[in-house]
Amino acid sequence: MTTSRRLRLSFSLALAALLAIALAAMPAPGQTPAQTKSAVQPAPAQQAFEAASIRLIDPNAPEPDTPPQRQQFPANRLTMHYASLAYLICMAYGVDWHRTTGWPDWINTERYDFNAKVEGDMLLTQEQMQPLLQNLLQERFHVKVHHEHKIVPGYALVIAKGGPKLQPNKGAPFHGMIGNSEIRFWNESIKSFALIFETPVERPIVDRTGLEGTYDLDLNFAPEDTPSNPADSKLPDIFTALHEQLGLKLVPQKVPIDFLVIDHADKIPTEN
């Protein structure tokens, strides 16, 4: 598997968690927005799934050829294949994995098949389902966490001189990928894009553009390591590319970040 393909796969596995704070509820397959609005139920009084199955995947099993699809919400079932416990924890607590600490070494390498059903016919949003997932991880993996607020070196995403060069989304559904020299997303908010952009720059980013709505984002830049493709050397560095291609700029500054600290997690879940 190539480096670019591995990056896309790893990123897609963590994408739902990385965007959890900013995601709006999405219609379940076959539903119109109007149907979805009436179908969503109030948050359930109970904080547990009706049934759940978690299976540790053999580490020698081949990786999937294509990245898993993002979970649709509102939903009656939460299903994930080839997911890491890091992914599950980030999704449960609505945090970006860059804003976590205390991970054991195995937590992003061991993979699980996960399937959980909400009681009855209730359809829950992602936010409504998070407490159920938190409790399930605490029960099956004995996950323990706490929050720490820190001021850390990072970036503010702002509009560059000359204004933004963004293409508003015209109805295309969400889709995204990230490679070692490209980032492409459709139907994405700038707030979520700021979280996505933390992956290549490896520092936290806060959105201070004030831009609303969703956009189709296409960014090409030179990789930091020695390019394997001669054409890559002609591309601008990632900061210049952001300015020239999207009309946005990263300003270095101290930023307030809420970190999720992982105090404990078991590798093998308790029996289903």
Q: Are residues 91 and 10 in the same domain?
A: yes
DSSP per-residue codes, 106-125: GGGTSEEEEEEE-STT-BB-
Q: Are residues 143 and 156 in the same domain?
A: no
Q: Are residues 162 and 200 in the same domain?
A: yes
C-alpha distances out from residue 131 to 45, 48, 78, 91, 209, Å = 11, 8, 13, 10, 31
Q: Give 206-223 pLDDT, tens digit per residue.
A: 999 999 999 999 999 998
Question: Is a pLDDT exceeding 60 seen at residue 34?
Answer: no
Is residue 119 situated within a structural domain?
Answer: yes
Q: Are residues 117 and 182 in the same domain?
A: no
Q: Are residues 8 and 81 in the same domain?
A: yes
Whether this model's pTM surpasses 0.75:
no
How far is it, in rounded angstroms, from Cα 18 to Cα 206? 14
Q: Are residues 123 and 206 in the same domain?
A: no
Q: Residue 123 — pLDDT band, cuts 50, 70, 90?
A: very high
Domain tally for the chain?
Answer: 2
Is residue 129 situated within a structural domain?
Answer: yes
Judge residue 143's burial from the number of C-beta atoms within 10 Å of its C-beta, 0-12 exposed, 13-18 middle, 19 or more buried: buried
Q: Are residues 134 and 173 in the same domain?
A: no
Is residue 123 situated within a structural domain?
Answer: yes
The confidence score (pLDDT) of residue 24 equals 35
Name the percent of the chain lying above pLDDT 90. 52
Helical axes 126-140 vs 85-93, angle rounded to 10° = 130
The residue to which tokens 């598997």 are assigned: 1
Domain holding 226, by residue range, is 150-257
